[in-house]
Amino acid sequence: MKIMGAFMSSKTSGSRIIQIAQNVIGPGEPKSKKLKVRRESDFPGVPRVHLAAAVKYTDPMLLGPPLCDELIDLVHHMFTEEEAAVFLPLGLLVGKTARQIAKEARMPLETVKPLLTSLSMEKRFITRSGPEDNPKYRLLPLMPGVFELCLIRPSLDSLTDWHRRFAELIEALYETGYMVEHMSGKGPALVRYVPIKQSIDSHPMALPGDKFEMILDRYKAFGVGICQCRLTEDINGRGCGREKLNCAIMGEGVADAVKNGLVKEVTKAEMLAIKLEAEAQGMVNWMFNIDNAKTQSSCSCCGCCCHNLRTVTEFNVPSSIAPPHFLPKVDTDQCNYCGKCALNCPLAAITVNTKAKTYVHREERCIGCGLCVVACDQKKAITMVPVPDYKLPYRSWFSFISRAVPHSIVQKRRINRERRGAGGP
């Protein structure tokens, strides 16, 4: 394994999120939102069906942005006018058949069916489920949702100029900072990060769910695809150079994911090797915060490319990440304040003054990954200690959703009030 070679290199130490100035190593200045909220009347030249599709995506229940130039540009690229017309009748929770959609869109069924197939199976903007001869279709949020399904793939061979333009446009939308408004309220956390193997390997308090190899033991099928975040950053000229083929799925959903061209199948041993190599390159592995999920996912994230982590590293706001089971503890008698821990923290949660000999750990940004422990390879001044009030993952998707939906309703009301107060529609 190539464990320490990636650490401390300018290419993989999160140079965009870590600043070194006057002997201080720590987080850079947070970005501010640069979103200009628009009204429907500001787009007289945009086809009505495209404008309506953009407005549909602004729903806070979909974690959508307010109406803006970037959203209009993205939607115009995503849909033809016919595709937008069949997209409009879709809902988030209740699926609709092609016949129902054709009736609401006032279009012939024979026209609607291939459009729905294209949107669900090729562009992957909507979901399809149920019997093959009469499936039901639902819409997806832009992010997370459309972004991930559109760009994940087993290799770069199927990536087209259309996909590259999609990546440019959705990144432009993300860069407005619109996700900040969705992260302001504290709701149930969708994902959690698994500690680095080396940091807790022999820890007596580590649970089976803290160890990636023990999580893998629960499943029989595994698949891996290209990381959409690092792919997008590559396309936009800001790639960090880390491996991209480590976005994983395991369990019952693997067969369909392979069949539909999202991932390639791998063995359990290959999956573990992929995840350990991701850790070696300074990445952190997340899982859905569900303990008994029949289908589980796991991306390998870096703080400079991952959109979820960038809400913390670039915009300095909370994200939908579960509080960690372990946090780092520093033995100040052993520490020589070299700053390796700060340089390699994927959340920029550590600030070290190498001259004044000070160390500050921002617990609210820490995901308990243990990369700081691995980086402290000479002095071994950092250890991981368990959090006393750690909350276990949700036992099922039902348990998570039953808490997430009421929170989403409250969030929607708050965001709509704030948008109206800011002069939005």
Domains in the chain: boundaries: 18-32+189-395, 40-182+400-421
- pLDDT value of residue 424: 59
- The one-letter amino acid code at 177 reads G
Whether pLDDT at 108 is above 80: yes
Share of the chain above pLDDT 70, in %: 95
Consecutive H or E run containing 26: strand 24-27
Average pLDDT value for residue range 216-230: 95
For the cut 90, the answer to whether the pLDDT of residue 166 exceeds it is: yes
Among residues 97, 34, 103, the alpha carbon closest in space to that of 66 is found at 34
pLDDT at 126 over 80: yes
Q: Is 285 helix (H, G, I), strand (E, B) or coil?
A: strand
**Per-residue pLDDT at 2 exceeds 50:** no
pTM of the model: 0.89
Amino acid letter, 411: Q
Name the DSSP class of 155. S
User: How much is the pLDDT for 184?
Assistant: 67
Residue 405, pLDDT score: 87
**Is residue 372 over pLDDT 90?**
yes
pLDDT at site 347: 93
d(CA 172, CA 163): 14
pLDDT beyond 90 at 284: yes
- Helix (H) or strand (E) run with residue 273 in it: helix 268-280
- Tell whether the model's pLDDT for residue 415 goes beyond 90: no
DSSP state of 395: S
The tokens 């083929």 sit on which residue? 245
Q: Largest Cα–Cα distance of the chain, in whole Å?
A: 75
Helix, strand or coil, per DSSP, at residue 326: strand
How much is the mean pLDDT over the chain? 90
Which ranges of 188-267 would DSSP assign to H, the alpha helix?
197-200, 212-216, 228-235, 254-259
- Summarize pLDDT for 182-207 with one digit per residue, the tens: 886 678 889 999 988 888 887 878 77
Would you say residue 13 has pLDDT above 60? Answer: no
Residue 3 has pLDDT above 90, yes or no: no
Cα separation, 70 vs 171, in Å, equals 9
Its CATH architecture, for the domain 40-182+400-421, is Orthogonal Bundle (1.10)
Per-residue model confidence as pLDDT tens digits over 246-260: 999 999 999 999 999
Residues 313-331 have a mean pLDDT of: 89
pLDDT one-digit tens code per residue, 53-90: 999 999 999 999 999 999 999 999 999 999 999 999 99
Confidence at residue 180, expressed as pLDDT on a 0 to 100 scale: 87
Three-state DSSP state, 391: coil
Residue-by-residue DSSP string for 343-371: HH-TT--EEEETTTTEEEE-GGG-----H
